[in-house]
Structure 1
């Protein structure tokens, strides 16, 4: 019997890659023997390594937004020997569909996107009313063409595996030991823009409340978030463990698994926390929790739904950021039950 071997063209955003695990789970439910490989930017590979449904991740060498037509064709042709039976496109760009076409994959599934006629030969209609969430759209691509929008989708939440030994090693590298008290993770970053950032002083107030009750507070963020995590720590009397820019994504995932609760902007780390089944307070301002909610029963969404939101802008077009500033620290502290 021929083995079903699928190449998924994965998304570039960390949060979307977490949500993609629901697709991988759906494919495995349909065919336990399916082989799933994922082609995606290198920074997403630590996520794939923590998804048991994925056979392997293939790092794409292309820069963000780069067409690199000849390089994509060469990369695709190099994959022909893998003999994939199907590709599934989780991206909507024309350039991302070049690789599966060049790889000669017989069934190339995806939504139309940027007029990808010919590059895709299994084009699915995108009904945004029936498939309102990103995760719905991903999982729909696992279904037979005629069934994708005719029945409710059974969606399994993402669930990342972690390595406690690697978490301990990361702490040792930072000069710390395993915590003996509850740990609150704060994730104040937002790669997309300032309109998704809850105010720094609000995070600091939550941090002070947690430390006053004997909790440890860990600040998570990328190198871009160093000024933000440093300022929160300063306003918290330097009582936090500032991990801003000090961990790779894989280390951050393993360390977050040690935490008791998480407060996060709508970001990739928010989706990571949900996939780790943590108590999560998810803060939404300019984005829409109905489109990309945290996939966890333990998540509490704080969203005011003002008349001006969601605007999906990188910066508040009205200059006040009320959608986030009106979510008080006390409200979050009570939700955490500190």
Structure 2
């Protein structure tokens, strides 16, 4: 069990997979990449896009993702097109798959590790279909080649890059990337000015707290976020922003009511990339495991990541300075849909003092860096 926060390090990428001849791989001109997961998963797959663009500078790269995750790929220079898989009738689904078949992709790289995406991969009729099959299910038969990462508990960035090794490529380890437009940067600047939170020297440092998460088992108690906010404001005179999407606004408002420091609730007010522009201007991000955490790290913002039932060695944020607080409990017995540990659950074991200590050190460093810039 790990009772102390630890920094995440890049690990050497290992893959076991037969390869295509590189001369054959160079023939690829129209490639489909599939990632039917959540925002953080899509972001962690962006080093694959960089590797493909470097290997095939003239190829058309199309990415298929779930509706609602496409924002993280906006302005990505390595992609020509982003397609969204809609939730609809079977007829609509079949029409969409028929459209994919008509695109005549000469290679499909499925990064999803799921049955539905494997079926879509086969339906494209592409002669080259690379995918994962960690669960050793029947879907492995639908690919022309199964990528085999090793070890299986390596970080997801390296795991996904193993798909490129099956194409005969030797991708470099990379960091997830989010690209923000000047328009989104301006939205952030305008809002900060209107809120009286002007950035720059002499301004109070901004700390972004993300108290919500997609799954309740990943949520640190709201009253502890409130206590943390008050203690950070008392010591550093910082301003607290409480973030999240519209579904997480309720928990953000709950934290605001419990805190005496007057945090600003911004949950649900900004698009994904407007959030990225805002969090880039923050001295620190503190939050539960989720897509916002990954975006903050990718933007270079120092991150304190609170992990419970998921493994930071595989799903930890990559990018700027990161400290993970993780208790290392084995959650396989009760991860979903409920936890059997009650007050001894992994998130309950993370104390305010522990998070405050880590956050204070990181905030001190961030403030010192800002003063010397």
The TM-score range, normalised by the shorter chain, is: 0.7 to 0.9
> Residue 176 in 1 paired to residue 195 in 2?
yes
- Distance in 2, Cα, partners of 1:167 & 1:74: 38
Q: Which residue of 2 aligns with 1:100?
A: 121
Q: Could you state the TM-score of these two structures normalised by the residue count of structure 1?
A: 0.86
2:130·2:166 contact (CA, 8 Å) conserved in 1?
no
Higher helix share: 2
Q: Which residue of 1 aligns with 2:326?
A: 303
**Which has the bigger relative contact order, CA under 8 A and spacing at least 6?**
2
Q: Which residue of 1 aligns with 2:265?
A: 242
- Distance in 1, Cα, partners of 2:66 & 2:296: 21
Residue 135 of structure 1 and its aligned partner are, at CA, apart by: 2.2
Moved more, 28-37 or 198-207: 28-37
Q: Which residue of 2 aligns with 1:61?
A: 86
State how many pairs are aligned: 328
Q: Which residue of 2 aligns with 1:78?
A: 99
- Distance in 2, Cα, partners of 1:251 & 1:288: 28
Residue 313 of structure 1 and its aligned partner are, at CA, apart by: 3.6
Residue 79 of structure 1 and its aligned partner are, at CA, apart by: 3.0
- Cα distance, 1:164–1:181 mapped onto 2, change above 3 Å: farther
Residue 199 of structure 1 and its aligned partner are, at CA, apart by: 1.4
Q: 1:206 aligns with which of 217, 228, 233?
A: 228
Q: Could you state the TM-score of these two structures normalised by the residue count of structure 2?
A: 0.78
- Cα distance, 1:258–1:332 mapped onto 2, change above 3 Å: same
Residue 173 of structure 1 and its aligned partner are, at CA, apart by: 6.4
- Cα distance, 1:333–1:316 mapped onto 2, change above 3 Å: same
Residue 54 of structure 1 and its aligned partner are, at CA, apart by: 1.8
Residue 142 of structure 1 and its aligned partner are, at CA, apart by: 1.2
Structure 2, unaligned runs of 5 or more: 1-25, 364-373
1:157·1:295 contact (CA, 8 Å) conserved in 2?
yes
- Distance in 2, Cα, partners of 1:2 & 1:79: 20
- Cα distance, 1:73–1:103 mapped onto 2, change above 3 Å: farther
Q: Which residue of 1 aligns with 2:280?
A: 257
- Distance in 1, Cα, partners of 2:219 & 2:149: 31
- Distance in 1, Cα, partners of 2:144 & 2:103: 20
Residue 321 of structure 1 and its aligned partner are, at CA, apart by: 4.3
Q: Which residue of 2 aligns with 1:155?
A: 173
Residue 310 of structure 1 and its aligned partner are, at CA, apart by: 9.1
Structure 1, unaligned runs of 5 or more: none
Secondary structure of the 2:109 match is strand
- Cα distance, 1:323–1:102 mapped onto 2, change above 3 Å: closer
Moved more, 171-180 or 202-211: 171-180
Q: Write the deviation string for residues 135-188 of structure 1: whole angstroms up to 9, x where unpaired.
A: 22211111136x68xx9x742011212235424425756953544431111111
- Cα distance, 1:327–1:32 mapped onto 2, change above 3 Å: same
Secondary structure of the 1:186 match is strand
Residue 103 of structure 1 and its aligned partner are, at CA, apart by: 2.9
